[in-house]
Amino acid sequence: MIGYASNTGTHRNLDALRKAGWGILLTPDNPTWRDGFHHVGVDNGAWKAFKQNKAFDGYSFQKLVERHGPMADFVVIPDIVAGGYRSLEFSLSWMPKLRGLRRLLLPVQDGMHPNSVWNVLREWSNCGIFLGGSTEWKLKSMWEWGMLACALRRYYHVGRVNTCRRIRLTAEAGADSFDGTSATMFSCNVPMLTAAKAQPSLLVPSMSMRWPSC
């Protein structure tokens, strides 16, 4: 499981992340590519805009995708934080503009159900799942989304994972990767968080667990 840290310009923290094998998550407001990282993802910046009560900056996101999207491990499709099915409709409107990238991640938000995105994932073979939403909903539904990703053999990423406990829960749900700010802000946290994600889990969803709609 790969951990992606929020982008930073602090050299000490970047050095700690590189040595520990973490990836970096680029955003429209912090799009600088950092040398020496083998894993780089592109986020859409919707969460920060939501926290700052600002409108989503689609233009800056498009510029970021044009510059780094083709080389990134994945690109997170624009969404609406806590927007439910309104967020899904917004994401679907963006998907044709992102066609051709090697891996897209479809954000899922509070109130959405795996059955609602089943057909989208079946149609878009290069699309995986980005688990967003509120903390309570995310923890409650994490395993369910992991089962869907496993059933369709799709990439599964969990957003805003900043503690060892949540890293373990993310691993047990079968996630391929996660992101967070804790390792970015405090280099002293990197060894502890790295050790948490390195521990194997026997609870990962498998193909032997039949998805209800199959």
The mean per-residue pLDDT over the stretch 44-67 comes to: 93
pLDDT at 195: 80
pLDDT at 194: 81
Asked whether residue 109 is domain-assigned, the answer is yes
Asked whether residue 209 is domain-assigned, the answer is no
Three-state DSSP class for 40? strand
Asked whether residue 137 is domain-assigned, the answer is yes
pLDDT at 196: 74
Asked whether residue 139 is domain-assigned, the answer is yes
Asked whether residue 203 is domain-assigned, the answer is no
Asked whether residue 158 is domain-assigned, the answer is yes
Tally of domains within the chain = 1
Three-state DSSP class for 2? strand
Domain coverage including residue 181: 2-198
How do residues 78-125 score in pLDDT, each as one tens digit? 999 988 999 999 999 999 999 999 999 999 999 999 999 999 999 999
How do residues 112-159 score in pLDDT, each as one tens digit? 999 999 999 999 999 999 999 999 999 999 999 999 999 999 999 999
Asked whether residue 212 is domain-assigned, the answer is no
pLDDT at 200: 57
How do residues 159-194 score in pLDDT, each as one tens digit? 999 899 999 999 999 999 999 887 776 566 677 778
pLDDT at 213: 45
What CATH number is attached to the domain comprising 99? 3.20.20.60
